Structures are given as C-alpha cells and as structure tokens.
Amino acid sequence: MNEVVERQTYRPRVILVDDDDLFRESLEQNLLDAGFRVTQFGDAPSALAYLIDGREAELILLDWKMPGMNGIEALRHIRDADIEVPVIFLTVLSDQIYEEAALMGGAVDFVEKSRSVSILLKRIELILTGTKSQLNSEAETGSVLKEGHLELHLDTSRAFWRDSQVDLSLTEFTMVQYMASRPGRDIRYRELYDLVHGAGFISGEGDQGFRANVRTFIKRIRQKFRKVDGTFEKIENYPGFGYRWRIDE
C-alpha cells in the first residue's frame, strides 16, 4: 500500500486496486498529476480491509482479474458491507457479459485498460461531479421531488416508494430522478446512458452497445423497487427507443 496525501487543499481520494505493479504505479502517477489523492493496493483483500476499517474514499478503481479474490468477488464483499463508494472496473476483458456482470454487481462503470487515461479521468469526473451537478441544477439542493408514491430526497440521494426506502446506488438514483422529473415523456436509451458516462461514450460492442448497459441498470432499478412493492410497474419500456416513467390515469 502506498498513500499520498495532499495537505493544502482537499482533493478526492481514489482507491486503486490492481495486481499489476507497473500498471498500478503508472496509473497512480496519472491520478496524482490530475489532482487526486491515491491509496493503492496490489490485492483485493487488503483494499477490502482498508474500507471495512472505516477509511473514506470517493471512488474505487478495481481490477477484474486478480489472484485470490477477483474484482467481482471484492465488489460483492464491498456492497455486502454496505459500502456505497462508486466502483469503476478496470479490465482487459471486453466481452459484454463481463460489463453486465460488473453493473449487476453494483459498479457504475466498466473501462477497458486499453483506453487512454484521459477517457478514464473523464469517467471519474462525471461520476464524482458531472452527473450529480447536472441533475441538481433542476432543483434546489435540499428539496424533495415527489411524483405519485415516489419521493426523492435530492440532497442525500435517497429514494422512497410508498414511504419505504429503496436502496438505489447513486447512478440508479440519477436515472430515476431523470425519468420521474419528466413523467410520461419517452426517454431515449442514449439520454439515460449519457447521464452516467457522458455524451459520446460507447460501451459494449458496436454503436448500440450502450443499450444493453442501460437495460442492465433499469433491470436492477425495477428489482429494487419490487423488493419493497411487488406491484411496482412505473418504469415502462418503449421498444426500440427507451423508457418512460408512467403517469397513472
């Protein structure tokens, strides 16, 4: 483990977990140059112990293929410990099945190691500031968005359905907020995808790779709402286009 602390001004802390020493050290330097504080680990158990010990971080960069405990196993332990720090997977695995597994496990992004550092830094920026600031501009901080039985606390990113809390991740909350603030409007797959990844970014295979990514998020969101209300049917699919937050007639 190697920790670098910025003493003069606050900088977001990134946890970097990767068993490739050269890759980890190179990426750490790029993150430091970009103004982040970095705590790095060469294995998942050490990072997990650090987080469970109560150490704070704004983001986790997690390698998928590691000996002993791989990235998806580490993510499962992180979420089981109720640690909701956003996780970006770093991987050489490009098949869509791995991306879907990462998102289903609670990650907010999946970036191939072959992509440039500038792409990764943009993903980090959007997750830490871009998406949240974009939606907070629609309502005053501290306000509550109400749409039927839905109640969204915008200051804390907490969602409630029929007075029961729905345990949404920040990304899931962002998508629900976007749809619910536009009830009845058809929202394109691309709009929802851009909320998370930024305009112009494509994941998965081909120009339409983002569709599977969005479907995975929506599936998880529906599951979480149905966990508190088995009759939940507010998110409707518009085949070939996207989704809408249904208005009850």
Specify whether 62 is located in the same domain as 147: no
Residue 152 lies in a domain: yes
Please give the Cα distance from 18 to 179 (Å, whole number). 36
**Listing from the earlier edge strand, what are the strands of the sheet with 2-4?**
2-4, 37-41, 13-17, 59-63, 87-91, 109-112
Residue 137 lies in a domain: no
Residue 24 lies in a domain: yes
Is this structure's pTM higher than 0.85?
no
The predicted-structure confidence for 153-177, as pLDDT tens digits, reads as follows 887 778 999 999 998 877 788 899 9
Specify whether 110 is located in the same domain as 6: yes
3-state secondary structure (DSSP) of residue 239: coil
| CB neighbourhood size of 47 (10 A) | 27
Residue 122 lies in a domain: no
The predicted-structure confidence for 49-104, as pLDDT tens digits, reads as follows 999 887 878 899 999 888 889 888 898 888 888 787 888 888 776 555 666 666 66
Q: What is the pLDDT of residue 94?
A: 57
| Total domain count, the chain | 2
Residue 202: pLDDT over 90? no
Residue 182: pLDDT over 60? yes
Beta strands in 64-196 (DSSP E): 87-91, 109-112, 144-147, 150-153, 158-161, 164-166, 187-188
Specify whether 149 is located in the same domain as 229: yes
Specify whether 189 is located in the same domain as 231: yes
Q: How far is CA 190 from CA 123, 210, 239, in A?
A: 16, 7, 14
Specify whether 106 is located in the same domain as 149: no
Q: Which domain holds residue 36?
A: 2-115
Residue 203 lies in a domain: yes
What contacts 24+ positions apart, CB below 8 Å, involve 76-80?
76/105, 77/48, 78/48, 78/51, 78/106, 79/105, 79/106
Please give the Cα distance from 187 to 197 (Å, whole number). 16
Burial 83-97 (b: 16+ CB within 10 A, else e): bebbbbbbbebeebe
Q: What is the pLDDT of residue 123?
A: 76
End position of a domain, from candidates 115, 130, 155: 115
What are the tokens at 180? Answer: 């619910």
Query: pLDDT category, 226, cuts 50, 70, 90?
Result: very high
CATH code, domain carrying 192: 1.10.10.10
The predicted-structure confidence for 24-57, as pLDDT tens digits, reads as follows 999 999 999 999 999 999 999 999 999 988 787 8
> Regarding predicted confidence, which is higher, 171 or 15?
15
What are the tokens at 193? Answer: 């995808």
* Residue 37, phi then psi, degrees to nearest 5: -90, 145
Residue 79 lies in a domain: yes
Mean pLDDT of 203-231: 78
Mean pLDDT of 235-240: 88
Under DSSP, the state recorded for 56 is -
CATH code, domain carrying 87: 3.40.50.2300
> Do strands 164-166 and 158-161 pair parallel, antiparallel, or not at all (unpaired)?
antiparallel
Specify whether 103 is located in the same domain as 181: no
Task: Report which secondary-structure segment, H or E, holds 59.
Answer: strand 59-63
